[in-house]
Structure 1
C-alpha cells in the first residue's frame, strides 16, 4: 500500500481545543484535521441535532411533489411506491410506503425483478400500475434518467414523482416532480443524500405541510441510517445527523425487522460499521438471490414473529450469496490469468453462467487482488449486464461516458455503476474501456492507498482515549475511522497466520522486549506479511483501534491496515 499522511493540524488550534474539551492533544488534532476547530463545532459534531436539518422545501420541485401526493389522497387515487432492489431502494420503499400508509391506506409497493426487469424503472412495472389503476408512482433511488419510461407512463395516465440522488443526464424526465439534489438547477444546501435520504426529505415536507410534529419521523431514521451506510455516501452534514439518530433508534427501539436480524448477530450495540457489514448485506441478499420485495416485507413487518421467519429465510439467502460470490470470484481470477491480463490497467471479465445478483460483489473482490477499475459481465436475457467498481481517485462514470458507443444503458456514481450492452459489443467495449482507463488513470491511483491521520505512540492508547474516539462515530466517507501509524514496534513472539489458507495475521504488538505496553492485533488479508515481523524484527504499522470480545471479556485491539 501507498501510505499518505494527512497534513498536521494547526498546533495553536489543537492546543486550544484540547484545553476547551479537556481531551488528549492527539484527539484534539484529529478533530482539527476534520475542520472541527472550535468548541461550538465540537459540540455540534459530538451531539448532532435534528434541528440542524435543512428545510426540505429548499429542494427543487418539493412543493410540486407534496401538492401532487396530497391531491392523490384527496381524490382517493392509488399510489405505487417504486424502488430499486438494493439496500437504498428497499429501505426507501419501506420508509415511504409505511409513512404514507400511516395516514392513507391506498398505497402499495413495487420492486422490479433484478433478472426479469433489471435496474430502475421498468415498462413492466408501469404496465402493472396501469392494470391495477395506479395513477401516481413515487420512484425512489431511481428514475432520474428514465425519460422514456416516464413518457410511457404519462401516455397511460400515470404521473411520476422521482426521488433520486444519481447524476442526471442532460434532460430530465417529464415527471410531476424530480427531487434530486444533484440537479444543476437545484439549490439544496447538501447534494450527497442517498435515495432514502431524498425520500425522507419528502416525508419531512409532507409532515411540515400537515403541521405534524417532527417527532413522528424519528422511528423511520433506522431505515435512513442503514441506507446512508450501505450506499457509502459522505458521512457529513445531514447524512451524519440522520445516521447518528438512526443508530440510536436501531440500538434502543429497532423495528421488528431489524430486531430479528440483530437477534442473530449476538451484538448488544451496533455502530455504523456494523450496519454496513452485518445488516446491509442481509437486506441486499434478498434482492440478489431471490427478490427485493422480501427485504421490504422484513423491513415493514409489524410483529416480531413474522420478522423472525423472514429474517431466517433472508439469512439463508445471505449464506447462498457468500458461496456464490466465492466461486464466481475464483472463476474470474482464473479467467484473468488464462487471458494473460494480470498487468492491464483495467479488469473486464464475462461468463454467461455467473449470477447477476452477486457480480457487483465479485467486482469488489477482484479489486482486492488486482487494484484497478473493474467490470464484471453476465448474461441477462438477450443482453449482457455488468456491475462496475472503481478505485480511489478514478471516476468510472466518466470512463463509461467515453465508451457510450458500445453501451445500451448505464447509470451510477463515480465509484460504482451498472450497464447493459449487446453481446456482440463485448470485445469492443472491453478494448475501449482499457484504452480509456490507460489514458486517464493517474499512476498514483494504481496503488492502493491508506490515508493516515497521524503518528501515535502506543503509550497514548487507553480506554479513555478509545471512548472519546468512539464518540466520533458514525464513521464513513468524509469522517473516516481514524488511522494511525507507529514505528519501531515488534511482536512479542506469538505472531501467526490464521484463518483459511493463513490469510489473516494475528499478533501481539509491543514497544520492546521488556515493555509493559502490549496490544493484541489482527490484520485481515495480511497473513503473507508474517515474515516482516518474525524473529524480533522491528517494523512500522498503520492501524485503527477497535474492541474485541472473547469469552465475554472485551479489550482494546489494533486492526492492522498495513505493515512496512
Structure 2
C-alpha cells in the first residue's frame, strides 16, 4: 500500500479580501487566495512580488563586520597582497568561489582559489588549505560558505600572519573565530535585516560593499547573480525577501545572457526552454555537485569561471559524465540502505534512521539520506568511513530541529555543523553505536506523531476547467519558487478518469482526468505512483493533489498535472 500522507489545506481568506485583490490586479479568486495566504494583499505588494526590484536589496554595510571586511580587502588589493579564495565543495561553495574569483581577478593578479578535497580533508577550513595559502605567500584568505566554527583553524592562520575574512551563513558556535572580519547574518550581534542568505549570497554582499566603497558601478556585482541564484536553489534556502530578488535577477541572466560555463551546462542538460529554480535544483545543481562528489570541486570552478565556450563545453561534458556516475552510486546505495531498514524490525520501529557502511561513497550519502526519508519518513543520518573516521550526512523531516538533536549528542562527535533541516558530522567509528542510541533517544523523546507523518501542503482546491493558459501564465510569474514561496499545490475532487491509466517504465502512472460535470480534460503524471492504478480504477471517489506545469513534446506545449498524492475516499 502507498504511504498515507496528511493533507494540510491552506485557510480560506475573507471573501471581501479575495474580491478586493482580484479586482485590484485582475486575477481570479483562486490566485488571489494563494497570494493573500502569502501575505500579499494589495496592488503595491503584488507589484513588488511579481516585479522584484534590485533596489530592494539591503545595504551591505548593515552586516556586522562589513566595513572592516571591505577595508581589509581594499588594503590587500592596493598593496598587491596575495589573496586566497577558499570555499566548500558543494554547489554553494563552488558557486561562491567562482563568483569571488571571477570578480576579484578584475582588480588583482595575485589571486588563488582553494576547495578542500571532500575525502582527504572533509568539510570546512582545513590546515592543509591554510598551508597552501602560506606556500602561495597569501596574507588574506576569504572563506565562503564555511568558517563560522573554524576557531582553531583561524588561530593556526593567525600564527602564520594570514588574515581571514569569513563569509558564512551557518549557525555560529558559542564563540566567533578570531578573524579580521566575520560576515554571517545569523550572528546574534548582526543587525542585517535578512537572515537567510546562502553562503554565496553573503559573499555577494561583500562584493557589493566593495563596489560601493570603491565607487565601482554596481552592475559589475549584479552580473554575478546567476551564480547566486544557483546557490540559492541548490542550498534550499528561503526564496523570500532579498533571496527572491537575487534569484529573480540571477534567473534573468541565466535565461538571457548565461556565462559560458552555465550555457555549456544547459546544453549538456538538454534544457532549451525558460530556466526556473526547479531546473537549477534538479538539473544544473546536481551536475555542479557531482564534480566534488565523484572527483574534485575544482572542476566545477573551472567550468563556472571558463571564458571560452569551447573549453566550457569540454568541462561540462566531463561534469555530466561524473553526474551519471553519481546517479549509479546513489541508486545502488539507496537500494542497499532501504534493504537494511526493511530487514531489521528494530530499525523499522525506530523514530530515526542511522546507518553506517564503510564502503558507501561519501559523495552521495546526503542524497541517500533524502531518498530514505521518501520511504521511511523520519530524521535520517547516513554514514561512511573517511580517513579512519565515520562521516555522515543528516536530513530532517518537516518541523523537526535536526541540528538541535545532533547537538544534544555532541559528546560522541568530533565535528558537526549545519542547520535545522540538514547537517554533517564526523565521529570516531567506535562511537557509532553510542551515538546512534543517543540520537534515537533524543528523537524519540522530542519528535511528535505529526512530525513523523509526511504532509502535502495544498494551497487551494480547483476545478479542472479553471486550469487555462491565462491561469498558468499568471501562476508561472510567481516563480522563483522555493522555501517560503513554494510552487502552489492544488487539489481537485469529483473527478472522472478517461480511458485506462497507463504504467510507464513499470513505476510511473499516467492518466487523463476531467471533472464529472466539466468539459475540459487534462493529463496527469505521477512519478513512482504506479501502485495507485488499481486503487483509483476500483474507486468511485478519489482526489488528486498536484502542481501545474507546462509540458513540451515534439514542439507542442500543453498543460499537465504533476501529482503529489492521490487520496482514495
TM-score range, shorter chain: over 0.9
Paired position in structure 1 for 2:522: 519
Q: Which secondary structure does the structure 1 equivalent of 2:440 belong to? A: helix
**1:342 Cα offset (Å):** 1.4
Paired position in structure 2 for 1:120: 124
Distance 2:563 2:349 in 1: 27
**1:347 Cα offset (Å):** 0.5
The answer as to whether partners of 1:17 and 1:39 remain within 8 angstroms in 2 is yes
Paired position in structure 1 for 2:548: 545
Q: Which secondary structure does the structure 2 equivalent of 1:527 belong to? A: coil
Write the deviation string for residues 354-394 of structure 1: whole angstroms up to 9, x where unpaired.
00001000000111111110000100111110000011011
Distance 1:79 1:132 in 2: 9
Q: Which secondary structure does the structure 1 equivalent of 2:349 belong to? A: coil
Distance 2:70 2:271 in 1: 42
Distance 1:382 1:535 in 2: 55
Paired position in structure 2 for 1:297: 302
The answer as to whether partners of 1:95 and 1:223 remain within 8 angstroms in 2 is yes
Write the deviation string for residues 296-345 of structure 1: whole angstroms up to 9, x where unpaired.
00000001000000000000000000001111111111222333211210
One of 484, 496, 503 as aligned partner of 2:490: 484
Does residue 1:288 correspond to 2:297, yes or no? no
Pick which of 329-338 and 474-483 moved more: 329-338
Distance 1:245 1:137 in 2: 29
Write the deviation string for residues 199-256 of structure 1: whole angstroms up to 9, x where unpaired.
0000000000111221122220100000001111111011000000000000000000
One of 452, 456, 459 as aligned partner of 1:446: 452
Paired position in structure 2 for 1:92: 96
Paired position in structure 2 for 1:320: 325
Distance 2:207 2:446 in 1: 42
**1:66 Cα offset (Å):** 0.3
Does residue 1:330 correspond to 2:345, yes or no? no
**1:187 Cα offset (Å):** 0.4
Q: Which secondary structure does the structure 2 equivalent of 1:311 belong to? A: helix
Distance 1:308 1:10 in 2: 53
Q: Which secondary structure does the structure 2 equivalent of 1:342 belong to? A: helix
**1:516 Cα offset (Å):** 2.5
Distance 1:462 1:535 in 2: 30
Distance 2:352 2:30 in 1: 39
The answer as to whether partners of 2:382 and 2:392 remain within 8 angstroms in 1 is yes
Distance 2:548 2:342 in 1: 37
Pick which of 249-258 and 540-549 moved more: 540-549
Which stretches in structure 2 are left out of the alignment for 5+ residues?
Answer: none
Distance 1:337 1:26 in 2: 42
One of 192, 214, 224 as aligned partner of 1:188: 192
Distance 1:532 1:12 in 2: 40
The answer as to whether partners of 1:235 and 1:479 remain within 8 angstroms in 2 is yes
One of 362, 365, 370 as aligned partner of 2:371: 365
**1:498 Cα offset (Å):** 1.7
Distance 1:21 1:515 in 2: 27
**1:188 Cα offset (Å):** 0.3
For these two proteins, the number of residue pairs brought into alignment is 561
Paired position in structure 1 for 2:283: 278
One of 450, 455, 464 as aligned partner of 2:461: 455
Does residue 1:259 correspond to 2:263, yes or no? yes
Paired position in structure 1 for 2:564: 561
Q: List structure 1 runs of 4+ shifted beyond 4 angstroms.
A: none
Q: Which secondary structure does the structure 1 equivalent of 2:189 belong to? A: coil
Q: Given the two structures, how large is their TM-score scaled by the length of structure 2?
A: 0.97
The answer as to whether partners of 1:532 and 1:539 remain within 8 angstroms in 2 is no
The answer as to whether partners of 1:283 and 1:314 remain within 8 angstroms in 2 is yes
Q: Which secondary structure does the structure 2 equivalent of 1:184 belong to? A: coil
The answer as to whether partners of 2:365 and 2:393 remain within 8 angstroms in 1 is yes
Distance 2:216 2:139 in 1: 26
Distance 2:180 2:163 in 1: 6
The answer as to whether partners of 2:463 and 2:515 remain within 8 angstroms in 1 is no
Which stretches in structure 1 are left out of the alignment for 5+ residues?
Answer: none
The answer as to whether partners of 1:288 and 1:321 remain within 8 angstroms in 2 is yes
Distance 1:445 1:61 in 2: 38
The answer as to whether partners of 1:194 and 1:227 remain within 8 angstroms in 2 is yes
The answer as to whether partners of 1:115 and 1:356 remain within 8 angstroms in 2 is yes
Does residue 1:241 correspond to 2:250, yes or no? no
**1:503 Cα offset (Å):** 1.9
Q: Which secondary structure does the structure 1 equivalent of 2:399 belong to? A: coil
**1:459 Cα offset (Å):** 1.5
One of 29, 35, 38 as aligned partner of 1:31: 35
Distance 2:249 2:14 in 1: 31
Write the deviation string for residues 376-421 of structure 1: whole angstroms up to 9, x where unpaired.
0100111110000011011100000111111110000101000000
Distance 1:139 1:178 in 2: 10
Paired position in structure 2 for 1:532: 535
Paired position in structure 2 for 1:202: 206
